[in-house]
């Protein structure tokens, strides 16, 4: 087989990149190691920056999102004994937020690729890029007991944190930066009406988040020790703990019900540089991981795919490599800005076992300052809204 771009990974980054390339007349093949059903079974992100919304709209991928997505003017922050404030992205940054689940977005991306006759090879095992530092890279994979080879011009590593692409970059070239937070998020999905806002809570009992997917599908999180497992958390225990982490007016408004999904995700900050090695480009979680506190992971996957599609389009359609040569630096500027915001909000809003009394008082003081200062609220809002592409 031969194509212009082999994309490793059929998550949001790989699927969006493939469709953006298609719109530029550029062929690609996606190699996904899981089944489509498995990819769509993962419950992940829920908030899109307006920059991501505009990219999806320009690519003709926003029909269902515009029908079913929920537009918010911001998200709320509350804390034990304190007041609360709205991260008013509309007022301070002139941009709203779109609450729309990653699962729904991924379904839409798969549907668009199928409608366009895109090539997505599921259950592609042992995917391996070769000769990526030459002008004739190729990729091998196993399927149905046979080894297959695809020759191409470029390889896009959109295979997430545990993917193979990043491992192809030699240690002498790759620089990685990692911070592992000693805590995790227990997420629960329920077919109940959500609270009206997204609300982040810094409770003395730990972090919590109220979110949503649609008017009858709610998404909630509580911070848990990494030693906890799902067996430790019955639905009743989850609902009791969630409500205990909010002021009574919010807690009383939370509608409980049976969980239809529960999962525990660890929190880490991770960045790999550079996001290019020869004709291999990294995009999305293969190059960076942020703690979900800032709702940035999915949005970085979107911006990486957009930057990379512009570079490849310029190469194939205009004969210029300027944008491609600038891809890694351009994407990393945005990655580090989102990594910093996500780290700052995670430290500010979570309780850590090694946190002493002065740590706690300093964080409360910072929340009180933000609530009292339009400058601080504006700064937080423009970062949470998503910095310009
Ligand atoms: P993905 O991981 O989504 O996709 C990579 C794909 O590559 C996968 O389908 C995988 O099967 C495939 N793959 C891996 N190795 C391969 C190989 N060797 N060969 C072929 N295919 C391979 N972000 C938020 O903004 N908010 C959240 O609340 C949030 N919650 C999250 C919860 C969890 C448990 C996780 C893991 C992530 C969460 N994220 C969240 C971040 C998440 O949304 C990612 O940012 C987003 O999925 C990134 O998309 P991709 O880069 O496409 O990576
Ligand atoms: C979600 O709805 O899953 C969600 C929303 C905001 C976040 C993280 C997750 O910061």
> Residue 82's pLDDT band (boundaries 50, 70, 90)?
confident
Q: Using an 8 Å Cβ cutoff, are 340 and 89 in contact?
A: no
Catalytic site includes residue 384 = yes
Sorted by where each begins, the domain ranges of the chain are 5-70+101-178+268-347, 181-266+351-385
Q: Which CATH architecture has domain 5-70+101-178+268-347?
A: 3-Layer(bba) Sandwich (3.50)
pLDDT tens, position by position, 240-251: 999 999 999 999
pLDDT category of residue 304 using cuts at 50, 70 and 90: very high
User: Counting Cβ atoms within 10 Å, is residue 287 exposed (0-12), middle (13-18) or buried (19+)?
Assistant: buried
Residues lining ligand 2, CB < 6 A?
Answer: 45-47, 198, 211, 219, 292-293, 295
Catalytic annotation present for 170: no
Name the nearest CA neighbour of 76 among 300, 380, 369. 380
Q: What is the pLDDT of residue 303?
A: 98
Segment 271-288 mean pLDDT: 98
Residue 208 pairs in a beta bridge with: 201, 222
Residue 276: pLDDT band with limits 50, 70, 90: very high
Residue 339's Cβ-side half-sphere holds a number of Cα atoms within 13 Å equal to: 21
Q: 200 an active-site residue?
A: yes
Whether 83 has a pLDDT exceeding 90, the answer reads: no
Catalytic residue among 12, 19, 22, 72: 72
Instruction: Write out pLDDT tens, residues 25-39.
Output: 999 999 999 999 999
For atom 15 of ligand 1, the residue with the nearest CA is: 163
> Residue 253 pLDDT > 90, yes or no?
yes
pLDDT band at 81 (very low <50, low <70, confident <90, very high): confident
Q: How many angstroms does the Cα of residue 301 sit away from the middle of ligand 1?
A: 9
In angstroms, the CA 215 to CA 28 distance is: 37
Categorize the per-residue pLDDT at 121 as very low, low, confident or very high, splitting at 50, 70 and 90. very high
Q: What is the mean pLDDT of residues 16-21?
A: 98
Q: What is the mean pLDDT of the chain?
A: 97
Which residues, in sequence order, are CB contacts of 237 under 8 Å at separation 6+? none
- Return the ligand 1 atom nearest residue 159 CA: 7
Is there a contact between 263 and 292 (Cβ–Cβ < 8 Å)? no
For residue 285, is pLDDT > 90? yes
Distance of alpha carbon 50 from alpha carbon 299, whole angstroms: 9
Other beta carbons within 10 angstroms of residue 285's beta carbon come to: 25
**Among residues of the chain, what percentage have pLDDT more than 90?**
98
Pocket test residue of 209, 212, 262, 300 for ligand 2, highest count of atoms within 8 A of CB: 209
**Whether residue 194 lies in the annotated active site:** no
What is the per-residue pLDDT across 170-221, written as a single tens digit (0 to 9) for each?
999 999 999 999 999 999 999 999 999 999 999 999 999 999 999 999 999 9
Average pLDDT over residues 55-75: 97
The predicted structure's pLDDT at residue 298? 98
Mean pLDDT computed over 116-122: 98
Q: What is the pLDDT of residue 388?
A: 87
At residue 43, the pLDDT reads 87
Pick the CATH number of 181-266+351-385 from 3.40.50.1980, 3.40.640.10, 3.30.9.10, 2.40.50.140: 3.30.9.10
pLDDT of residue 274 exceeding 90, the answer is yes
Burial class (CB in 10 A: 0-12, 13-18, 19+), 190: buried
Ligand 1 within 6 A of 8 CB?
Answer: yes
pLDDT value at 237 more than 90: yes
Q: Report the relative pairing of strands 259-273 and 138-143 from DSSP bridges.
A: unpaired
């Amino acid at each position: 087989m031969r194509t212009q771009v082999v994309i490793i990974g059929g998550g949001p980054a790989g699927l969006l990149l493939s469709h953006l390339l298609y719109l530029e007349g550029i062929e690609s093949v996606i190699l996904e190691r899981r089944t489509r059903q498995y990819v769509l079974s993962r419950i992940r992100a829920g908030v899109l920056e307006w920059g991501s919304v505009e990219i999806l709209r320009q690519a003709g991928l926003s029909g269902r999102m515009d029908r079913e997505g929920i537009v918010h003017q911001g998200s709320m922050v509350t804390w034990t004994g304190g007041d609360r404030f709205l991260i008013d992205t509309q007022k301070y940054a002139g941009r709203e937020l779109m609450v729309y689940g990653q699962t729904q977005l991924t379904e839409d991306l798969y549907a668009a690729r199928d409608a366009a006759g895109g090539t997505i090879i599921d259950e592609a095992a042992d995917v391996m890029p070769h000769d990526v530092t030459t002008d004739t890279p190729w990729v091998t994979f196993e399927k149905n007991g046979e080894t297959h080879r695809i020759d191409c011009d470029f390889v896009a590593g959109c295979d997430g944190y545990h993917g193979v692409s990043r491992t192809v970059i030699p240690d002498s070239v790759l620089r990685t930066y990692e911070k592992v937070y000693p805590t995790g998020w227990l997420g629960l999905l329920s077919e109940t009406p959500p609270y009206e806002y997204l609300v982040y809570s810094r409770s003395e009992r730990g972090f919590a988040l109220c979110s949503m997917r649609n008017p009858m599908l709610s998404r909630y999180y509580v911070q848990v020790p990494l030693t906890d497992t799902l067996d430790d958390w019955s639905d009743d225990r989850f609902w009791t703990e969630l409500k205990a982490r909010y002021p009574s007016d919010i807690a009383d408004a939370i509608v409980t019900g049976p969980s239809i999904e529960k999962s525990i995700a660890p929190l880490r900050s991770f960045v790999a540089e550079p996001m290019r090695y020869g004709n291999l480009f990294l995009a999305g979680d293969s190059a960076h991981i942020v703690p979900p506190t800032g709702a940035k992971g999915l949005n970085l996957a979107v911006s990486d795919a957009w930057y990379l599609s512009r570079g490849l389009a310029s190469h194939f359609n205009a004969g210029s490599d300027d944008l491609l040569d600038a891809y890694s630096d351009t994407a990393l500027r945005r990655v580090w800005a989102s990594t910093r915001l996500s780290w700052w909000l995670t430290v500010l809003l979570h309780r850590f076992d090694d946190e002493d009394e002065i740590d706690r008082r300093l964080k409360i003081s910072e929340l009180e300052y933000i609530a009292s200062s339009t400058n601080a609220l504006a700064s937080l809002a423009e970062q949470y809204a998503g910095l310009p592409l």
